[in-house]
């Protein structure tokens, strides 16, 4: 069974530094909205991603800033050449032109994530075209009145037998994270604030303090 991939969804280096390095984290996902919120320009994107790799990210993901096939390909290739093979995953919205461009990139061994996946057929196309990931947005699906978990479960079934992982984004709670694990999705990206909730359990920290107090009382070297 393929290893699960946990990503952090942020373009804020200070927030990333509160979580990294950590061996449970596979990588970092970004998009233009996150970059804008963090005050990162397009010219500053390679530096942000390089710093994330220095913090231990095995893969980083960045989205193209073009909508037509030729523009997507030019944008993607300009970004990729600044990283070692496999380090950078190119994020492309799952549009008609996006699928066309992504298929060409995948055929050239450049990993691709089709993002803004809202329909099961989009996930199916991602698998057929050799994408590394297909990224549905759980929270946004539920905001629209859709049963997000059921739809993501359907997407997961359609990807069976392919090398494409679902990379589920827009995760807002620990309960949602655990529900996705039950579905067997291959990857999840979470905001740094949820990382704290998942990794810093109060009862465990309380127990640790008790153990350390008793260890200190034992004395010794």
Active-site residue list: 91
Residue the block writes with tokens 């066309």: 100
Residue 16: which residues within 8 A CB-CB, separation 6 or more? 8, 10, 28, 52, 55, 192
Longest dimension (CA), the chain: 69
Residue 120: which residues within 8 A CB-CB, separation 6 or more? 151, 154, 155, 158
Q: Helices 148-158 and 120-128 sit at what angle, rounded to 10 degrees?
A: 30
């Amino acid at each position: 069974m393929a290893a699960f991939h946990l990503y952090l969804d942020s373009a804020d280096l200070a927030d990333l530094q509160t979580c990294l390095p950590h061996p449970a984290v596979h990588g970092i996902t970004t998009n233009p909205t996150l970059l804008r919120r963090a005050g990162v320009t397009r010219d500053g994107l390679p530096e942000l991603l390089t710093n994330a790799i220095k913090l231990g990210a095995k893969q980083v993901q960045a989205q193209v800033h073009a909508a037509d096939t030729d523009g997507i390909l030019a944008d993607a290739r300009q970004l990729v050449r600044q990283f070692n093979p496999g380090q950078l995953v190119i994020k492309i919205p799952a549009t008609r032109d996006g699928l066309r461009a992504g298929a060409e990139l995948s055929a050239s061994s450049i990993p691709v994530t089709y993002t803004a996946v809202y329909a099961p057929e989009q996930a199916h196309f991602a698998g057929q075209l050799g994408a590394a990931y297909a990224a549905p947005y759980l929270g946004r699906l539920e905001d629209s009145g859709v049963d997000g978990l059921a739809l993501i479960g359907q997407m997961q079934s359609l990807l069976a037998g392919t090398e494409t992982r679902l990379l589920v984004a827009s995760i807002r709670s620990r309960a949602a994270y655990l529900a996705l694990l039950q579905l067997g999705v291959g990857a999840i990206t979470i905001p740094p604030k949820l990382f704290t909730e998942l990794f810093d359990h109060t009862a465990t920290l309380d127990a640790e303090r008790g153990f350390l107090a008793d260890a200190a009382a034992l004395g010794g070297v």
